[in-house]
Amino acid sequence: MPEFAERMSAMEKSANVIKGLFGAMNDPDLISFGGGAPAFEALPVDIVREIANDVIRKDKRGVEALQYGNVMGAEDLRQIVVKELLQPKGVEAKVENIMIINGGLEAMNLLCQLYIEPGDVILVESPSFVHSVEIFDMFEAKCIGVDMDDEGMDPDDLEKKIKLYKPKMVYVIPTFHNPTGRTLTLERRKRIAEFGGKYDVIILEDDPYRDIRYSGRDLLPIKAFDKTGHTVLANSFSKIFSPGSRLGYILANDAIMQKLFAAKTATNSHTSMLPQILCAEFFKRGYYPNHHKMICDLYRERRDAMIESIDKFFPEGTKRVFPDGGLFTWVELPGGINTTELLAESVKNPDVKVAFVAGEGFFVEGDGKGNNCMRISYGSVPPEKIKMGIKRLGKLICEKIK
């Protein structure tokens, strides 16, 4: 058989990490804090049925939903992004600068198409989101980690590494970061936005969790401080509407959007129309505010149950993040415990049967960094199961430390 392109071997490492996650997610007996999926209670099933039943008609939007659509996406969904999702968050945008994409992740693929040649450097938070890194690997980028602390990506380390490595792109998840749940402070957002113009580097702001904040104060996105057009904002409807619909959007300046048009056409023509129309109607019919409140209440309760349980059942010396939104917390274990080994045991041990994601796979350094860390996802687990699972996992950890 013909040889595969070089990029396919570049991505083998990350593909393996991911298969590990999916394996853990599929065992029905587990209490899984592994996957990053929203709660099934957070999916607007009944609303979507009602809308579908009303609009999939020849005299309404049924033909539009089933026929070829625009590369840029459904016009009214793009307007909703501008007026309901960006404007209230302090970002002024024109509809022409919004493209609807096939899930938030597609933004990373498209931006790589635009900018990345093999060997180009992308700076990412250390740790960062596995699926995005996998995309960067496929484009044969060299990913280099930037230090982070509880206030998010460290701008001093970032500036140092921008000067040192001359990256094409800085990839940052500023709000309720995956995998750590941390949020970048306002001061740091401003500084990172400035670096875009100062060092002529694309700031790729991936912000899929920002709209599910359930405590603390909203922060302007990095894009709000972008005066030079170097920041590209990617977001997703996965957490506020439905992940299976694969809907996301990109906000970028005119020159970038023109190239995105070509890259999107040459990826899959356009995003599926029916989900776009159902999602647009979901907003237009005014369902979003109540739905949003419902899911925030749901996740807040789960966050509280999770943090309380960790504080109660995990050993002294454990560090954990208190997230003001999103679906994750990040735990650093004391006592030299290797979380990859812990995971192998905790999913099999019949007294534990708990899954999470071991921290090591989120670090591009690949030198064992984060091997005492774990990403714990609470979004899709009810509070009583959270308590039960963390109690069982905590007991196993405490036994190992003794």
Q: Does 28 bind a second copy (CB under 8 A)?
A: no
Q: For a second copy, which residue of 23, 57, 94, 285 counts as binding (CB under 8 A)?
A: 57
How many residues bind a second copy (CB under 8 A)? The answer is: 81
Q: Which of residues 209-228 bind a second copy (CB under 8 A)?
A: none
| Residues 6 or more apart in contact with residue 114 via CB below 8 angstroms | 256, 259, 260, 263
Q: Which is nearer to a second copy, 119 or 336 (CB)?
A: 119
Rg (alpha carbons) of the chain, rounded to whole number: 21
CA distance 290 to 240: 11
| Residues 6 or more apart in contact with residue 152 via CB below 8 angstroms | 125, 172, 174, 177, 182, 183, 184, 185, 188
Q: Which is nearer to a second copy, 37 or 82 (CB)?
A: 37
| Residues 6 or more apart in contact with residue 38 via CB below 8 angstroms | 238, 239, 243, 295, 327, 379, 380
**SS3 of residue 32 by DSSP:** strand
Q: Other C-beta atoms within 10 Å of 9: how many?
A: 12
Q: Which of residues 298-337 bind a second copy (CB under 8 A)?
A: none
CA distance 75 to 276: 10
**Nearest-approach distance from CB 388 to a second copy, in angstroms:** 23
The two most distant CA atoms of the chain are separated, in Å, by 70
Q: Which is nearer to a second copy, 229 or 335 (CB)?
A: 229
Tokens standing for 102? 């096939």
Q: For a second copy, which residue of 17, 20, 30, 64 counts as binding (CB under 8 A)?
A: 64
Specify the DSSP class assigned to residue 89.
Answer: G
**Nearest-approach distance from CB 315 to a second copy, in angstroms:** 33
Q: Does 30 bind a second copy (CB under 8 A)?
A: no
Contact between 182 and 330 under an 8 Å Cβ cutoff? The reply is yes
Q: Does 135 bind a second copy (CB under 8 A)?
A: yes
**Nearest-approach distance from CB 213 to a second copy, in angstroms:** 22
Asked whether the bond before 383 is cis by omega within 30 degrees of 0, the reply is no
Nearest residue to 357 via CA among 7, 2, 20, 1? 20
Q: CB-hemisphere CA count at 13 Å for 221? A: 29
Q: Which of residues 230-289 bind a second copy (CB under 8 A)?
A: 230, 238, 242-247, 255-256, 259, 261-263, 265-275, 278
| Residues 6 or more apart in contact with residue 291 via CB below 8 angstroms | 44, 47, 240, 282
Q: Which is nearer to a second copy, 42 or 219 (CB)?
A: 42
Q: Does 35 bind a second copy (CB under 8 A)?
A: yes
Site string for a second copy, 138-167 (x = CB under 8 A): x-----------------------------
**Nearest-approach distance from CB 61 to a second copy, in angstroms:** 10
Q: Which of residues 343-402 bind a second copy (CB under 8 A)?
A: none
Q: Does 294 bind a second copy (CB under 8 A)?
A: no
Q: Which of residues 74-133 bind a second copy (CB under 8 A)?
A: 101-103, 105-106, 109, 113-117, 131
Site string for a second copy, 65-84 (x = CB under 8 A): xxxxx---------------
Q: Does 11 bind a second copy (CB under 8 A)?
A: yes
Q: Which is nearer to a second copy, 62 or 383 (CB)?
A: 62
Q: Does 44 bind a second copy (CB under 8 A)?
A: yes
**Nearest-approach distance from CB 354 to a second copy, in angstroms:** 21
Q: Does 43 bind a second copy (CB under 8 A)?
A: yes
**Nearest-approach distance from CB 52 to a second copy, in angstroms:** 4
Q: Which of residues 165-204 bind a second copy (CB under 8 A)?
A: 168, 200-202
Count of H-run helices and E-run strands, the chain: 14, 15
Q: Which is nearer to a second copy, 101 or 397 (CB)?
A: 101
The crossing angle, in degrees rounded to 10, of helices 383-401 and 288-313 is 30
**Nearest-approach distance from CB 69 to a second copy, in angstroms:** 5
**SS3 of residue 10 by DSSP:** helix
